[in-house]
Amino acid sequence: MFKFSISTIEQTGLSDITRQVQEAVSKSGINDGICYVFVPHTTAAVTINENADPDVGDDMIMELNKIIPFSDSYKHMEGNSAAHIKATLTGSSEMILVENGKLQLGTWQGIYFCEYDGPRRRQVWVQVLSKQL
């Protein structure tokens, strides 16, 4: 398993981690299989979406913040219930096919770390599994 850290600078935001995940795939030496990306946090997530226009990520965060406001009648004493809800909706993992040592993402796709309770130093775990013949 490969692990890398990411330091976020905002309370909520998306960070493109495609390059780091591809580096993990390359280091694994596996040419064909599946890459599993996991975020071991309850107030952060991972998603795949457009990486050609950064406004898409900004729009996604803007709308999530509208749908799930930071302040509401939440009972959780720590004060970060909105982050927990956003992380649950987005999800803690993604699986990407690997072919010829490369992530098989669509033309406009990238892998994003989703911060919902920052700024923080976070972990991303990557496991690359070989295709069984």
What 3-state class would DSSP assign to 72?
A: coil
Above 90 in pLDDT, residue 12? yes
What torsion, rounded to 10 degrees, do the Cα atoms 82, 88, 93, 96 define?
Answer: -100
The total number of structural domains in the chain stands at: 1
At residue 108 the predicted structure's pLDDT band, cuts being 50, 70 and 90, is very high
87: domain CATH number is 2.60.120.460
At residue 113 the predicted structure's pLDDT band, cuts being 50, 70 and 90, is very high
Q: What are phi and psi of 5, to 5 degrees?
A: -100, 155
* DSSP 8-state class, residue 132: P
Residue 75 belongs to domain spanning: 2-130
pTM: 0.95
What mean pLDDT do residues 36-44 have?
98
Q: What is the pLDDT of residue 7?
A: 98
Residue 19: in which H helix or E strand, if any? Answer: helix 18-28
Tokens of 54: 């950064």
Distance CA 117, CA 36 (A): 23
Q: What is the pLDDT of residue 58?
A: 95
Residue 75: name the closest of 86, 64, 84 by CA: 84
Percent of the chain with pLDDT over 70: 99
What mean pLDDT do residues 29-36 have?
97
pLDDT in tens, 46-79: 999 999 998 999 999 999 999 999 988 998 988 8
At residue 131 the predicted structure's pLDDT band, cuts being 50, 70 and 90, is confident
Q: Where are the beta strands (DSSP E) in the chain?
A: 2-7, 13-16, 33-38, 44-50, 93-99, 102-103, 109-115, 121-130
Above 90 in pLDDT, residue 133? no
Q: What is the pLDDT of residue 132?
A: 74
